[in-house]
Structure 1
Amino acid sequence: MAERLIKIGVFYDGNYFLHVSNYYNYIHASQQRLSLAGFHRFICHVVAEHEGVDVKKCCITNAHYFRGRLSAQEALQRGNQLYNDRVFDDVLMSLGVTSHYLPLRTRNGRKEEKGIDVWFALEAYEQALRAQFDILVLITADGEYVPLVRKVNALGARTMLLNWEFTYRDDTGRSIVTRTSQDLLQEVTYPVAAHELIERGLQGGVPYVKDLFLQADPNRPAAGGDDERDYTPDYGHDEVHGYGVVGAGRTGGETPDLPIDAPVYRGVIMNVNKLRGYGFIKYPPNNLFFFHQEVEGCEFADLQIGDEVTFQLGENDEGQEVAKHVRREPQPSYSTDSKRF
Structure 2
Amino acid sequence: MTPNRNNLLRIAVIYDGSFFWRISNYYRFTHNKQSHLNLSALHDYLRHHIAAIETDSRVALCQITEAHFFRGRFSLKAVQATRDPLKQLETDRFQDQVLMWAGVVAHYQPMNEAANPPEEKGVDINLALETYDLVVHKGFDVVVLFTGAADFSPLVRKLQSVGTRVLVPAFDLPNYAKTSQRLLEEAAYSLPFSDLIDKAVDDKYEDLLDAVFR
Counterpart for residue 11 of structure 1: 14
**1:199 is aligned to 2:198:** yes
Counterpart for residue 29 of structure 2: 26
Mark the CA change 1:205 to 1:93 in structure 2 (over 3 Å): closer, same or farther. closer
Counterpart code for 1:192:
L
Give the whole-Å Cα distance in 1 for the aligned partners of 2:212 and 2:189: 20
Q: Secondary structure at the match of 1:31?
A: coil
Mark the CA change 1:87 to 1:179 in structure 2 (over 3 Å): closer, same or farther. closer
The alignment of Structure 1 onto Structure 2 pairs a total of residues equal to 206
More strand by share: 1
Counterpart code for 1:198:
I
Counterpart code for 1:37:
S
Counterpart for residue 167 of structure 2: 160
Q: What TM-score do the two structures reach when normalised by structure 1?
A: 0.56
For residue 204 of structure 1, report the CA deviation from its aligned partner: 8.0
For residue 185 of structure 1, report the CA deviation from its aligned partner: 0.9
Which of 57, 63, 71 is equivalent to 1:59?
63
Counterpart code for 1:149:
V
Counterpart for residue 171 of structure 1: none
Q: Deviations 1:243-288 (Å, cap 9, x if unpaired)?
A: xxxxxxxxxxxxxxxxxxxxxxxxxxxxxxxxxxxxxxxxxxxxxx
Give the whole-Å Cα distance in 2 for the aligned partners of 1:177 and 1:89: 23
Q: Secondary structure at the match of 2:108?
A: strand
**1:187 is aligned to 2:191:** no
Q: Deviations 1:107-163 (Å, cap 9, x if unpaired)?
A: 552110011000000001001111341101000011111111111101011110012
**1:70 is aligned to 2:69:** no
Counterpart for residue 260 of structure 1: none
Which residues in structure 2 correspond to 1:211-290 (within 5 Å)? 211-214=211-214
Contact 1:202 1:209 in 2 (8 A): no
Q: Which consecutive residues of structure 2, in runs of 5 or more, have no partner in the other structure?
A: none
Mark the CA change 1:94 to 1:31 in structure 2 (over 3 Å): closer, same or farther. closer
Counterpart for residue 135 of structure 1: 142
Give the whole-Å Cα distance in 2 for the aligned partners of 1:197 and 1:56: 23
Mark the CA change 1:139 to 1:205 in structure 2 (over 3 Å): closer, same or farther. closer
For residue 82 of structure 1, report the CA deviation from its aligned partner: 1.7
Give the whole-Å Cα distance in 1 for the aligned partners of 2:99 and 2:185: 30
Q: Please, what is the CA RMSD of the aligned residues?
A: 2.2
**1:83 is aligned to 2:84:** no
Q: Secondary structure at the match of 2:198?
A: helix
Give the whole-Å Cα distance in 1 for the aligned partners of 2:45 and 2:122: 29
For residue 53 of structure 1, report the CA deviation from its aligned partner: 2.8
Give the whole-Å Cα distance in 2 for the aligned partners of 1:113 and 1:49: 37
Counterpart for residue 40 of structure 2: 37
Mark the CA change 1:83 to 1:177 in structure 2 (over 3 Å): closer, same or farther. closer
For residue 3 of structure 1, report the CA deviation from its aligned partner: 2.7
Which of 117, 125, 137 is equivalent to 2:124?
117
Identity, in percent, stands at 36
Larger Cα Rg: Structure 1 or Structure 2? 1
Contact 1:9 1:132 in 2 (8 A): no
Give the whole-Å Cα distance in 2 for the aligned partners of 1:194 and 1:127: 25
Q: Which consecutive residues of structure 1, in runs of 5 or more, have no partner in the other structure?
A: 168-175, 215-341
Which one is further off, 23-32 or 105-114? Answer: 105-114
Q: Secondary structure at the match of 2:179?
A: coil
Counterpart for residue 100 of structure 2: 93
Which of 95, 108, 111 is equivalent to 1:104?
111
Counterpart for residue 52 of structure 2: 49
Q: What TM-score do the two structures reach when normalised by structure 2?
A: 0.87
Q: Deviations 1:44-100 (Å, cap 9, x if unpaired)?
A: 122112213322221110110000101123334422322332343233223221110
Counterpart for residue 153 of structure 2: 146
Superposed structure 1 runs of 4+ greater than 4 Å apart: 201-205
Contact 1:8 1:60 in 2 (8 A): yes
